[in-house]
Amino acid sequence: MPLFQQAAFHTTVADLRDLPSDSLCEVAFAGRSNAGKSSAINTLANHSRLAFVSKTPGRTQHLNYFRLADGKYFVDLPGYGFAKAPEEIRSQWEGLLAPYLRHREVLRGLVLIMDSRHPLTELDVQMLRWFAPTGKPLHVLLSKADKLTRQEQVLALREVHAVLQEFGENGSVQLFSSLKKSGVREAETVLAGWLGLTMREETPPPAGLSTEKKARPKQRAAMGWGARNAGKPR
């Protein structure tokens, strides 16, 4: 069973004064509008409609909390990059999101979703600049990785890894596909560490059956091998 199978909607927050007081640790999810943020949350929770997937940029302007266990939450942040949104909505977004990322003490880390076909947009880099001063860990999910060839996947990993290094040593990156359900285990491992949750052991193969051969280096990268190794000589 997926690690976050028990995730359930808890509350929607429109004002920082209404943040849950019982929270002990939170993992926030951010991403440019339509980069696949809601789909990533749904995939990690093995739930098709937990997080709302909108095709209208900037439609969700609040912090949506999903309870994982007592005092532990996923937080779905507003999608950014909504040029068509009214000025007052953009101002509200900046007044809610930036202070939350910078000052929320129980925030353990940020998952930043980027479309693997178009990573590191100006808005993605702005998000990195906002979050880097906190010194907290950041993990990038390169979504829709199934749309890329293996070579393109490796290049995307290297490109994002190089930029993350410019912002410090607390960043990591992996490939992810909600459609193919790939990269889920790797993401679970990272988030479990942030939340203090125990990973469930995978069921071993039946005795007497051969296991799949170990993947070659380029295959590991294509399947979501972490940024700390991307681009290093093998």
pLDDT exceeds cutoff 50 at 102: yes
How sure is the predictor about 53, in pLDDT bands with cuts at 50, 70 and 90? low
- In this prediction, what percent of the chain has a pLDDT beyond 90? 61
Measured over all CA atoms, what is the biggest interatomic distance in the chain, rounded to whole angstroms? 64
Smallest CA-to-CA distance from 88 within 54, 117, 61, 116 is with: 61
DSSP assignment letter at 207: T
CATH of domain 8-222: 3.40.50.300
**Can you give the residue ranges of every domain in the chain?**
8-222
Lowest average pLDDT, out of 28-32, 65-69, 126-130, 193-197, goes to 126-130
d(CA 228, CA 109): 17
- Listed in order, strand segments (DSSP E) in 32-97 are 63-69, 72-76
Mean pLDDT of 30-36: 90
Residue 205 pLDDT grade (very low, low, confident, very high; cuts 50, 70, 90):
very low
